[in-house]
Amino acid sequence: MAVVAKSIALPRPRRQLLPAGALQAAVWVLVVGLIVGPFIPMLYASVRDRPLYEAGGVLTLDAYRQLVSDGEFWRAWANTLQYAGLTTVMAVIGGASVAILVSRTNLVFRRVFGRLILLPIVLPPLGLVLGWIVVWGPGGYLTNLFSQRLHLGTLAIDTIPGMSLIEASRLLPVAYMTCEAALARADSSLEDAARSAGAGPARVLRSITIPMLRPALLNSSTLIFTLAIASLGIPLLLGTARNIKFVSSYLYLQWTNAAQPDPATVSAGAMMLLVVATLLLVLRNRLLGAEARYVSIAGRAGRNAMLPLRGLRWPLAIAITLYLVFSTVIPVLGLAAMSVVVVLTPLVAPWHLLTWDNWHQLGTGEFRRAIVNSLQISLVGAILATALVTIATLVAHRSRFPLRKALPFVMLYPRATPGLIIGIGFFWTYLLTWGVGSWLRGSIWGIMLAFCVRNIPFAYVVMYPTLARIGEELDRAGRAAGAGWWRTCRSIVLPLLRPAIFSAFILMFVEILCDYDPALFLVKPGNEVIGTTMLSQFIQGSVGPVAALAMVQVAFTVLVLGVGSRLFKIGVTGGHDA
């Protein structure tokens, strides 16, 4: 003991001017208000006999009665359930199979497949759907080519199974990521033990690997089913033309097409959809709770021996490649080709029809406005939403705020909420909030708010695992050292959370840029965003410029994700298995 430090008299830490509780309460109210708040006017609108903007009126269940007695509404439900069921089966079987092949077998190029299979979630969903239609749709390029030149039929994508296939290819990565994460968590020595006990590869898969995946399968099934029910783009673009209605498209068409808009029934239908989605979310939370029991002790010591596929090594790899080409590469190439030709047809070679007109159009009018608006709201929205979610996550997991336990559930809630419901909710909310509401309704910021709320779950699921890894003793040490809650968060937790904050920001930017369905109920001339413009222009038939616009969206997405993952070494895709 060389030196004896004198005990010195230091000032005691002082009480904070603004109690931490006030900030925590403000954030809590803001988050819960933004996410749950918009449903209240919608509920109110569904039980009134006239629109909210008309004075007078009485409470009534007429809208619900009207819906329940409408045969078309029930047909829409039947179609929706069939569609969601088929989608779930295809996406989960596909995703789980690829996950097993990639992480447990000696498939060739398995690492490459592991990354490529995620492509559909980093590409804008609406653009991808348009790509499918351009290439495989009725009158699509390859559809015509096959039937006219080769006299071969192709899959009719404007049927329920066809639409499910597109939806499944969009959602397959969700199942893949959930299963892949479960497989990575599970100790592969469990499988090694079965092989030592004499089981062949097929037997190991059947008796060990697949049973261990059960929670992940259930979990991703519920999520995919919920997302498929909520889907609007594919039903609207492909189903409507063939008069196949889904709940989401039924409600949307009721809202826009009816001679006399009748929002009460739309709100009532949205409430019913919301209840179904909420029940599915609650079910999924139960399943996630059950999943904890299946977690085997993490023993990640050595690289596990891969199950040998023997003669199937190459055929399976070729099958996955074909799937990727068919579902992702061709649609994107189709869009790219579409954007530089006058018309895409097998009758005339495309190089005779080359034109820059489509791209020139992007510099003018609605297209230009949409791009500028989208970039603005993506940037500002990503900043605001990331900041809010960051603090809300800290309140949820690192404070003693009495109501903190509700926050994780609330922040994950929009994931299960159909975008059109969020759109309707915000529409009514803006109508009822006087000056602020009418300003939001008339500007792009109202759309931004709805997009932010819709995508909060992504930011939360990126943020939370990192926060959970930051030991709680680190902030306790800060408190013991005399720093208040906010000072501790600022000086200790936030710096350690920085990589996750950047990831969340990048992900939010991309998600807001690609989002569209909440905006369908909020868009007005002047505040269009890329997604709404793509949809409306496509329906009006200007396919070329829409293809160019989709390519712009793809380019921005790839650019931002690429730069983001380079700069911050982040796995942006992590958020989607939420």
Partner 1 sequence: MPEIDVAGLGKTFGEQRALDDVSFTVTDGELFTLLGPSGCGKSTTLMSIAGFQTPDDGRIAVGGNPIFDASSRLNLAAERRNLGIVFQSYAVWPHMTVFDNLAFPLKVRKLSRKDLGNRVREVLELVDLAPYEERYPHQLSGGQQQRVALGRALVYSPSVLLLDEPFSNLDAKLRERARTWVKDLQHTLGLTTIFVTHDQDEALSMSDRVLVMNSGVVQQIGTPEEVYRQPANRFVAEFVGQVNLITGTVAGYENSTAIVDAGEGARGLRVHVDQAPQQRASLTVAVRPEALVVEPAGSATHNGSNTLSARVISVAFLGDHYQYELEASGLALTAQSPHKVGSDEVKVHIPPDACAVVA
Catalog residues that contact partner 1 under the rule CB under 8 A: 1-13, 15, 471, 473-474, 476-484, 487-488, 491-492, 495-496
For partner 1, give the closer residue by CB, 131 or 484. 484
For partner 1, give the closer residue by CB, 284 or 398. 398
For partner 1, give the closer residue by CB, 72 or 472. 472
To partner 1, the closest distance from the beta carbon of 490 in angstroms equals 11
CA dihedral 484, 489, 493, 494 (to 10 degrees): -150
Whether residue 381 contacts residue 529, with contact meaning beta carbons closer than 8 Å, is answered with: no
Which tokens hold the place of 354? 């080359």
The CA–CA distances, whole Å, from 429 to 152, 270, 440 equal 52, 15, 10
Which tokens hold the place of 481? 């050292």
Cα separation, 531 vs 366, in Å, equals 12
3-state class (DSSP) for residue 433? coil
Q: What are phi and psi of 480, to 5 degrees?
A: -60, -35
Buried residues in 90-108 as b, exposed as e (16+ CB within 10 A):
bbbebbbbbbbbbbbbebe
To partner 1, the closest distance from the beta carbon of 1 in angstroms equals 6
For partner 1, give the closer residue by CB, 5 or 202. 5
Going 417 to 421 to 427 to 433, the CA torsion angle's sign is negative
Amino acid, single-letter form, for residue 134: V
For partner 1, give the closer residue by CB, 50 or 404. 404
For partner 1, give the closer residue by CB, 68 or 474. 474
To partner 1, the closest distance from the beta carbon of 4 in angstroms equals 6
Whether residue 166 contacts residue 200, with contact meaning beta carbons closer than 8 Å, is answered with: no
H helices within 37-139, ranges in order? 39-46, 62-68, 71-104, 110-116, 119-122, 125-136
To partner 1, the closest distance from the beta carbon of 22 in angstroms equals 14
To partner 1, the closest distance from the beta carbon of 287 in angstroms equals 23
To partner 1, the closest distance from the beta carbon of 187 in angstroms equals 24
To partner 1, the closest distance from the beta carbon of 487 in angstroms equals 7
For partner 1, give the closer residue by CB, 64 or 401. 401
Task: Please name the residues in contact with 403: beta carbons below 8 A apart, sequence gap of 6 or more.
Answer: 28
For partner 1, give the closer residue by CB, 313 or 479. 479
To partner 1, the closest distance from the beta carbon of 568 in angstroms equals 15
Which tokens hold the place of 164? 């499910």
Angle at 143 between CA 141 and CA 148, to 5 degrees: 95
For partner 1, give the closer residue by CB, 418 or 478. 478
Whether residue 91 contacts residue 224, with contact meaning beta carbons closer than 8 Å, is answered with: yes
To partner 1, the closest distance from the beta carbon of 346 in angstroms equals 60
For partner 1, give the closer residue by CB, 209 or 488. 488
Neighbours of 375 (CB within 10 A): 16
To partner 1, the closest distance from the beta carbon of 6 in angstroms equals 8
Residue 300, Cβ density class (10 Å: 0-12 exposed, 13-18 middle, ≥19 buried): exposed
DSSP-derived secondary structure letter, 146? I
